[in-house]
């Protein structure tokens, strides 16, 4: 079975540009979460989507947005990129909604570099 897949794996963008990152969850998983991991730090929560609705949002500016599609795949969009947005962006899928005590399965991540 395929795990969580993310694309692209690496990306270089210029300040001020826009970026779209994509994630396909494990088959049967309806919940997708996005995390930002800056080098040397733990992952920081950005969004969670469940059944195509936003269920949670972390402490990130409005430049960050996301959506989930009917097939449960998801996109993370970041506008007006800043140098500080350079990070590994991780997508995680899980079976149920946020309050279910289940583990999350992570993709390999998208390494975004803003120059």
Q: DSSP letter for 59, please.
A: S
Class of residue 75 by CB neighbours under 10 A (exposed 0-12, middle 13-18, buried 19+): middle
Residue 92 CB, shortest distance to another protein, in Å, is 8
Among 12, 16, 20, 56, binds another protein (CB under 8 A): 56
**How many residues line the site for another protein (CB under 8 A)?**
26
Six token digits for residue 27:
């088959």
Which residues of this protein are in contact with another protein, per CB under 8 A?
Answer: 4, 6, 33, 35, 41-43, 45, 48, 55-56, 58, 88, 90, 92, 98-99, 101-109
């Amino acid at each position: 079975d395929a795990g969580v897949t993310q694309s692209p794996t690496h990306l270089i963008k210029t300040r001020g540009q826009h970026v779209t990152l994509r994630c396909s969850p494990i088959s049967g998983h309806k919940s997708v979460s996005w995390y930002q991991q800056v080098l040397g730090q733990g992952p920081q929560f950005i969004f969670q989507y469940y059944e195509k609705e936003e269920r949670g949002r972390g402490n990130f500016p409005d430049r960050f947005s996301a959506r989930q599609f009917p097939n449960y795949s998801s996109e993370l969009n970041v506008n007006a990129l800043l140098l500080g947005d350079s990070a590994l962006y991780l997508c995680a899928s899980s079976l149920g909604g946020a309050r279910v005590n289940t583990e999350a399965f992570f993709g390999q991540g998208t390494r975004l570099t803003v120059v």
